[in-house]
Structure 1
Amino acid sequence: MWKKVLWSDETKMELFGQNAKRYVWRKTNTAHHSEHTIPTVRYGGGSIMLWGCFSSAGTGKLVRVDGKMDGAKYRAILEENLLESAKDLRLGRRFTFQQDNDPKHKARATMEWFKTKHIHVLEWPSQSPDLNPSRICGKI
């Protein structure tokens, strides 16, 4: 069954570095040596939002999301990329689609879109952690 699942999620990617604190160990009085500093960009350097999918057969489409993702934009991404990804990965028409419980994923209009396209959506527990593709694919 797991070989017929198309997994998906979206993520924000920092364009410069990581948006997190970093901790380092260094010798006393070396804090300002160039090898101990991390360059920065004013105002964080920006980020982009990406949607992607994968299966045991490999990766599907990776899509840059312009602006804020809402239900209509999510459905447009699915319309343009989901079935094509399933076809490219040779999943056939009877694959199962996995998405998390984000409100735009579970919206009535989105679930109706899946129904009209005859796409089975995997039931997913609320408040579940994000997926780690390397762990999932390694066990398929």
Structure 2
Amino acid sequence: MEEITEGVNNITVNASDSHKKNRIQVSNTKKPLFFYVNLAKRYMQQYNEVELSALGMAIATVVTIAEILKNNGLAVEKKIMTSTVDIKDDSRGRPVQKAKIEIVLGKSEDFDDLMAAAAEERLIAAAEEQS
């Protein structure tokens, strides 16, 4: 556990980038997929776009989240950036390069209508449950 913490603490990030309010750093171990999908929807509602970011094995999760949002007509792809970052690995005694991806998604033209329709469906379902 210490190695992971130390590796995370040693990631160098641009100071201007580290406090983006609309960035989601995705882990494939911490939260379920749809937690991130729903969080991305909320960020797009608030900020009109969301930046999904991941390292290593979590990259597949970020791609899946982006595809779910695009296939449901909620998001359009604005930018994809790939890079590598050095992560300190104490077990090997040297930095290890990890792949990194950042995907920026913006609201689709239909985003607001689709979100309103989904909210209305939830209200109707809740009302039917109570009756």
TM-score w.r.t. structure 2 length?
0.33
TM-score w.r.t. structure 1 length?
0.31
Is the radius of gyration larger for structure 1 or structure 2?
1
Looking at secondary structure, tell me which structure has more strand per residue.
Answer: 2
Looking at secondary structure, tell me which structure has more helix per residue.
Answer: 2
